[in-house]
Chains A and B, each alone.
Chain A
Amino acid sequence: MAVNVTYDSLNVGDAMPEWSRETDFMNWNRYAAVNDEFVYIHMDDEAGKAALNEQGAFGMGNLRYTYMLNALRDWLGDEARIMECGLRYRARNQKRDVLTVTGTITDKTLEDGMQLVHLEMNVVNQDGDSTSPGHAVVALD
Chain B
Amino acid sequence: MTANEEVPTLVTPDMEARRGVWGDERVSPPVEASDIRKWAIASYWPEKPPRLFWDAEYAAGTKYGSIVAPQDFNPFAWPIERSPRVEGGSRAPGQRGMNGGQVERYGVPMRVGDVITSRTRLKGWTERTTSLGPTLFTETEIEWRNQRGEHVKTRISTGIRY
Chain A residues at the B interface, C-beta cutoff of 8 Å: 1-2, 21, 26-27, 30-31, 33-36, 39-41, 47, 50-51, 61-63, 65-67, 69-70, 73-74, 78-79, 81-89, 132, 134, 141
Contacts and interface: CB of A to CB of B under 8 A. Distances in A.
A35 B52 contact: no
A36 B38 CA distance: 12
B68 to A, nearest CB: 9
Contacts of B45: 21, 26-27, 30-31
Contacts of A70: 43-44
A51 B39 CA distance: 28
A104 B41 CA distance: 27
Q: Which one of A61, A66, A74 has the greatest number of beta carbons of chain B within 10 Å?
A: A66
Interface size class of B (residues with CB under 8 A): 35 or more
B87 interface: yes
A63 B79 CA distance: 20
Interface of B: 35, 38-39, 41-46, 50-52, 61-64, 70-72, 74, 77-79, 85, 87-89, 98-106, 156, 158
Contacts of A62: 72
B103 A81 contact: no
B72 A65 contact: yes
Given A61-B99, A73-B50, A89-B98, A34 B42 contact: yes
Given A40-B87, A66-B43, A79-B62, 7 more contacts: A2-B50, A27-B42, A33-B42, A34-B39, A61-B99, A78-B62, A86-B103
Given A2-B50, A31-B42, A36-B77, A82 B100 contact: no
A34 B61 contact: no
11 contacts: A1-B61, A34-B74, A73-B50, A74-B50, A79-B64, A85-B71, A85-B103, A86-B104, A87-B101, A88-B158, A89-B101
A1 B105 contact: no
Given A1-B61, A2-B50, A47 B43 contact: no
